[in-house]
Amino acid sequence: MRSAQKMLSGQQELRFYATRDPLTKLRNRRCFMEEVGKLQGGIDFWALSRTYRLAANVPPSDIDFAP
């Protein structure tokens, strides 16, 4: 449980966002969400976010994944 709390902490997430490059940000976010998904029973948050993006017809560069 300690590792789950550590992974979900804001400080941990900020480390993933410490870039201005949108592709790197998306890739880092995907890695972060995959790790969180593993900790939360395998929910595929990345697939969910991709589904919503496609449904809304929004280009990936216009999406801000910050919570």
Q: Are 31 and 41 in contact (CB under 8 A)?
A: no
Residue 39 lies in a domain: yes
Reported as a single tens digit per residue, the pLDDT across 47-61 is: 666 665 555 555 555
What does the pLDDT average to over 63-67?
Answer: 54
Query: CA triplet 22, 25, 29: central angle to 5 degrees?
Result: 140
Residue 32 lies in a domain: yes
Domain that includes residue 58, residue range:
2-62
Q: What is the pLDDT of residue 55?
A: 58
Number of domains present in the structure of the chain = 1
Reported as a single tens digit per residue, the pLDDT across 29-45 is: 666 666 666 665 555 66
Query: How close are the terminal C-alpha atoms of the chain, in Å?
Result: 22
Q: What is the pLDDT of residue 18?
A: 59
Residue 30 lies in a domain: yes
Residue 6 lies in a domain: yes
Residue 67 lies in a domain: no
